[in-house]
């Protein structure tokens, strides 16, 4: 009797999951499979009737395309530099905010503001600040005598590449700060007191207590942020639109323009699949790190 009730209960549970399963299949799985299928076809929006299967030709063309390889390299550079600088700055702020000081709650709130501001609003503000004529950054630098003529933050390729990294770092470091601060707050104070009694200074305590204790959180947060930044579209699109002269193209930006400006859906889908492969590899690393932390 109990076994029969259990089977009926399980059956009801499975039936309850059907609507959510269908929604996931409709929203996630179908677009994914359709994107993979498109990547194996020659399909241009300007000639929709000429759609045909070409196998891996789109992928072969991509990795023979110097523009794609350059964008792929910059995407990794953009992602690594953003994640590393956000982590280091977040770590420094977390160490400062973890100490007792007057107004600590106010400082923590102010440090979180970049993360709370909507990306569209933030990027409009950055465009105004970095403007070569009326931007406050150039005005300040010229008034203080640090530069003689305005810096083309968004109009010169190499400078624009660094500018978009800076604005993304500004957006992401609060996440790192709050995650690392939470990890530091959970470290028993007895460990620091014992180290202090044994004559350990700040750097010794940081090296042998703080960093080992936040190692797992550091790994997980950096992997997660790598996935977010690598796949991010809005920051660069709103700030530079991929310019000047495609200098700030990343894979999401290039895929978008290839699909909707050039009309080459097959090539754009192949780019998206390459992004998916990178994300899958990083996700596997993330799951292994998570499993290792749970086991420990």
* Domain residue spans of the chain: 2-39, 65-295
DSSP-assigned beta bridge partners for residue 149: none
Overall CATH class of domain 65-295? mainly alpha
The Cα 271–Cα 277 span in angstroms is: 10
Task: Assess contact for 85 and 177: CB atoms under 8 A.
Answer: no
Quote the tokens at residue 256. 């978008």
Q: DSSP code of 296?
A: -
What torsion do the CA atoms of 121, 126, 128, 132 make, to the nearest 10 degrees?
Answer: -160
Residues 63-103 have pLDDT tens digits of 999 999 999 999 999 999 999 999 999 999 998 888 877 87
pLDDT over threshold 60, residue 37 = yes
Residue 14 backbone phi and psi in degrees, to 5:
-65, -40
Q: Are 161 and 152 in contact (CB under 8 A)?
A: no
- Residue 118: the pLDDT is 87
Helix axis angle for 136-143 and 119-129, nearest 10°, is: 30
pLDDT, tens digit (0-9, with 9 covering 90-100), for 103-122: 777 877 788 888 888 888 99
SS (H, E, C) 184-237: HHCCCHHHHHHHHHCCCCHHHHHHHHHHHHCHHHHHHHHHHHHHHHHCCCHHHH
């Amino acid at each position: 009797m109990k076994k029969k009730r259990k089977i009926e209960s399980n059956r009801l549970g499975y039936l309850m999951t059907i609507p959510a399963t269908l929604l996931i299949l409709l929203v996630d799985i179908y677009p994914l499979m359709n994107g993979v299928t498109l990547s194996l076809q020659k399909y241009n929006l300007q000639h929709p009737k000429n759609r045909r299967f070409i196998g891996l030709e789109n992928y072969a063309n991509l990795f023979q395309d110097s523009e794609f390889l350059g964008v792929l390299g910059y995407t990794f550079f953009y992602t690594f530099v953003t994640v590393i600088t956000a982590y280091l700055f977040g770590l420094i702020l977390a160490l400062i905010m973890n100490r007792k000081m007057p107004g600590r709650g106010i400082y923590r709130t102010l440090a979180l503001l970049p993360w709370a501001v909507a990306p569209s609003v933030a990027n409009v503000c950055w465009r105004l600040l970095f403007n070569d004529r009326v931007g406050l950054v150039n005005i300040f630098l010229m008034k203080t005598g640090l530069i003689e003529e305005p810096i083309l933050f968004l109009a010169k390729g190499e400078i624009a590449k660094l500018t978009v990294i800076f604005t993304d770092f500004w957006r992401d470091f609060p996440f790192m700060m709050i995650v690392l601060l939470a990890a530091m707050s959970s470290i028993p104070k007895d460990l620091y007191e014992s180290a202090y009694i044994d004559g350990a200074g700040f750097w010794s305590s940081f090296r042998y207590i703080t960093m080992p204790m936040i190692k797992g959180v550091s790994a997980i947060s950096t992997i997660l942020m790598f996935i977010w930044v690598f796949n991010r579209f809005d920051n660069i699109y709103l700030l530079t639109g991929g310019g000047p002269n495609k200098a700030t193209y990343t894979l999401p930006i290039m895929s978008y323009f290839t699909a909707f400006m050039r009309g080459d859906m097959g090539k754009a889908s192949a780019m998206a699949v390459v992004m998916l492969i990178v994300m899958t590899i990083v996700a596997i690393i993330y799951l292994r790190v998570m499993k290792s932390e749970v086991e420990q």
